[in-house]
Amino acid sequence: MTNEKIIEVEQLMKIFGSFHAVDDISFDVKRGEIFGFLGANGAGKTTAMKMLTGLLSPTSGKATVAGFDVYKETEKIKKTIGYMSQKFSLYGDLTVKENIQLFGGIYGLKNKVIKAKMHELLGRLGMENSANALIDSLPLGWKQKLAFSVAMLHDPSIIFLDEPTGGVDPVTRRQFWEMIYETAHNGTTIFVTTHYMDEAEYCDRISMMVDGKIAALGSPDELKKGFNAQNMDEVFVGIAREGKVLK
């Protein structure tokens, strides 16, 4: 992790009608950091992520992602980031190869580059023999790892992971996190949401959203100390239930 700020958010707001979905949030994420973005359902995580990925224009406030403005430079943001979620990842009725070609094409990579990337990626995942297999026929764990690698095809400087491990078996879940660690170690910034509190411990820093605001922000150790808690589960319950705010 470096001290260079790759995401800067200042007093960001998103208001739908009279509802303040994201209510004045400010934070920074550093290059190479694993940043956990936590909160209860409906706390505003998805809305905030949509603004940071250039899919939704904020109501007010400032934010830059990899130096690009979230109001004016959304297309540049989209080219600089990777995105993966459990709901949206790969096309099940296309083969592994076809998915890589499709996403490589969408990212605007040259055929030569796509070919080289495909070779490297399949080798690294040990999936050379599955290049022509339909995505739907693969075990879930493979799909997740492949989806992650495809989201990294264009060498993004930040990757957004929206509940990447939901429903995955405990062994595969851990293997997935080892990939995350390695990726962060190589300098890519990780912005991740999860409902598994043990995974919150794997992040460098965590923010917790409650009712559109950031109620707590810090390293897992700092948060546990601040809330006098044994683990992140207790921290989460403490914050979400009592709406306690740690400054």
Interface contacts to another protein, rule CB under 8 A = 39-43, 139-140, 163, 166-172, 174, 177-178, 181, 185, 195-198, 201-202, 220-221, 231-233, 236-237, 240-241
Report the alpha-carbon distance of residue 227 to residue 191 in Å, rounded.
23
From the list 185, 176, 126, the residue with the least C-alpha distance to 151 is 176
Secondary structure E strands in the chain: 5-16, 19-30, 34-39, 60-65, 68-69, 81-85, 158-162, 189-193, 205-210, 213-218
Measured from the CB atom, the residue of 40 and 102 that comes closer to another protein is 40
**Residue closer to another protein (CB basis): 81 or 223:** 223
From 34, 33, 36, 38, select the one nearest 5 (Cα to Cα): 33
Q: How far is the CB of 197 from another protein (least distance, A)?
A: 6
Least spacing, CB of residue 121 vs another protein, in Å: 22
- Closest contact distance (angstroms) between CB of 195 and another protein is 6
Q: How far is the CB of 127 from another protein (least distance, A)?
A: 18
Q: Which is nearer to another protein, 75 or 169 (CB)?
A: 169
Which C-beta is closer to another protein: that of 158 or that of 210?
Answer: 210
CA distance 63 to 69: 6
